[in-house]
Structure 1
Amino acid sequence: MGTISSLGIGSGLDLNGLLDQLKDAEREKLAPIERQIKTEDTKITAFGQLKGALSKLQDAAETLNSGDLYSSLSASTSGDSVGAAADKNAMPGGYQINVETLATRGTLASGNSTGDPTDEVAASAQEMTLSFGSGPDKTVAIEAGSTLEDVRDAINADEESGVNASIINDGTGYRLALSSRETGADASISGFSFDGDATISADDALVADGGTLQAGTDASLTVNGIGITSANNQVEDAIQGVTLNLKEEGESTVTVEQDTLAVREAVTGFVDAYNDLKETTGKLTSFNAETGQAGELNGDSTVRMVESSLRNVVGGMGNAGSDFSMLSDIGISLEVDGSLSVDSDKLDDVLSSDQQALSDFFAGVDDSDGFAARLEGSVGQMLSDNGSVNGAISSAENRIDSLGQRYDRMEQSVDRTVARYRTQFSQLDGMVAQMNQTSSYLTQQFDALSQMSSGKN
Structure 2
Amino acid sequence: MASPILPGTGLGSGLDTGAIVKALVNADKAAKQGQIDRGTATNTASISGIGTLKSLMAAFKNTMKDLASTTTPQFQGFAATSSDVKIVGATASNSAVNGSYVVKVDNLATSSKVTSAAFAGGTTSPITAGTLSITQGASTYNLDVKAGATLQSVRDSINADASLKGAGISANIVTDSFGSRLVLGSTNTGAGSDISVGGDISELTIDGSNVVGASGGPAMTATSAGSIGAVAIDAKFSIDGMALTSKSNTVDKSVSGLTLNLVATGTSTVSVAGNNDGLKASIQKFVDAYNALANGITKLTKPSLDDDGNPTVAAALTGDALPRSILSAIRGPLSETGAGDKLTVLAQLGITTDQKTGALNFDSAKFTSAMNDKKLGGEVQKMFAGDAGSDNGLLARMQKAIAPFSDVGGVLDQRTTSLNKTKTKLGNDQAALDRRIDTLTAVLTKKYNDMDALVGKLKATASNITSMFEAMAAQQKNS
The alignment's TM-score, normalised by the length of structure 2, stands at 0.55
Residues 286 and 255 (structure 1 numbering): CA distance in 2 closer, same or farther, change over 3 Å? Answer: farther
Offset of residue 407 of structure 1: 10
Counterpart residue number, 1:233: 249
8 Å CA contact 2:108, 2:234 repeated in 1: yes
* Amino acid in structure 2 at the alignment position of 1:163: S
8 Å CA contact 2:88, 2:264 repeated in 1: yes
Counterpart residue number, 1:32: 34
For residue 183 of structure 2, the aligned residue among 177, 183, 187 is: 177
Counterpart residue number, 2:259: 243
The count of aligned residue pairs is 388
Offset of residue 186 of structure 1: 2.2
Secondary structure in 2 aligned to 1:146?
Answer: coil
After TM superposition, the structure 1 = structure 2 runs for residues 388-399 of structure 1, keeping only pairs within 5 Å, are: none
Secondary structure in 2 aligned to 1:129?
Answer: strand
Secondary structure in 1 aligned to 2:78?
Answer: strand
8 Å CA contact 1:131, 1:190 repeated in 2: yes
8 Å CA contact 2:305, 2:313 repeated in 1: yes
Distance in 2 (CA, whole Å) between partners of 1:19 and 1:104 is 95
For residue 82 of structure 2, the aligned residue among 78, 82, 88 is: 78
Counterpart residue number, 2:201: 195
Counterpart residue number, 1:121: 126
Distance in 2 (CA, whole Å) between partners of 1:358 and 1:149 is 53
After TM superposition, the structure 1 = structure 2 runs for residues 133-148 of structure 1, keeping only pairs within 5 Å, are: 134-148=137-151
For residue 110 of structure 1, the aligned residue among 110, 116, 123 is: 116
Residues 85 and 434 (structure 1 numbering): CA distance in 2 closer, same or farther, change over 3 Å? Answer: same
* Amino acid in structure 1 at the alignment position of 2:156: D
Distance in 2 (CA, whole Å) between partners of 1:209 and 1:267 is 57
Distance in 1 (CA, whole Å) between partners of 2:82 and 2:48 is 51
Counterpart residue number, 2:171: 164
After TM superposition, the structure 1 = structure 2 runs for residues 48-447 of structure 1, keeping only pairs within 5 Å, are: 49=52, 52=56, 56=60, 72-79=76-83, 80=85, 81-114=87-120, 116-122=121-127, 124-132=128-136, 134-161=137-164, 162-170=169-177, 172-192=178-198, 194-195=200-201, 209=225, 212-269=228-285, 272-273=288-289, 276=292, 280=296, 281=298, 285=303, 296=315, 348=368, 351-356=371-376, 419=439, 422-423=442-443, 425=445
Distance in 2 (CA, whole Å) between partners of 1:403 and 1:152 is 61
Offset of residue 101 of structure 1: 1.6
Distance in 1 (CA, whole Å) between partners of 2:140 and 2:154 is 17
Distance in 2 (CA, whole Å) between partners of 1:180 and 1:381 is 45
* Amino acid in structure 2 at the alignment position of 1:107: K
Secondary structure in 1 aligned to 2:122?
Answer: coil
C-alpha deviations, 1:47-91, integer Å up to 9, x for none?
77579489959x98xx99xxxx99953241223322223334445
Offset of residue 102 of structure 1: 1.0
Distance in 2 (CA, whole Å) between partners of 1:95 and 1:416 is 87
Distance in 1 (CA, whole Å) between partners of 2:58 and 2:181 is 65
* Amino acid in structure 1 at the alignment position of 2:125: E
Residues 187 and 128 (structure 1 numbering): CA distance in 2 closer, same or farther, change over 3 Å? Answer: same
* CA RMSD of superposed structures (Å): 6.5
Offset of residue 100 of structure 1: 2.1
Distance in 2 (CA, whole Å) between partners of 1:398 and 1:155 is 55
Offset of residue 272 of structure 1: 3.0
Distance in 2 (CA, whole Å) between partners of 1:398 and 1:198 is 67
C-alpha deviations, 1:182-228, integer Å up to 9, x for none?
222222224545436779xxxxxx96647845312222223344443
Counterpart residue number, 1:388: none
* Amino acid in structure 2 at the alignment position of 1:169: D
8 Å CA contact 1:111, 1:209 repeated in 2: yes
8 Å CA contact 1:93, 1:255 repeated in 2: yes
Offset of residue 232 of structure 1: 2.0
Unaligned runs of 5+ in 1: 1-5, 200-205, 310-321, 364-372, 386-393, 441-457
Distance in 2 (CA, whole Å) between partners of 1:105 and 1:398 is 60
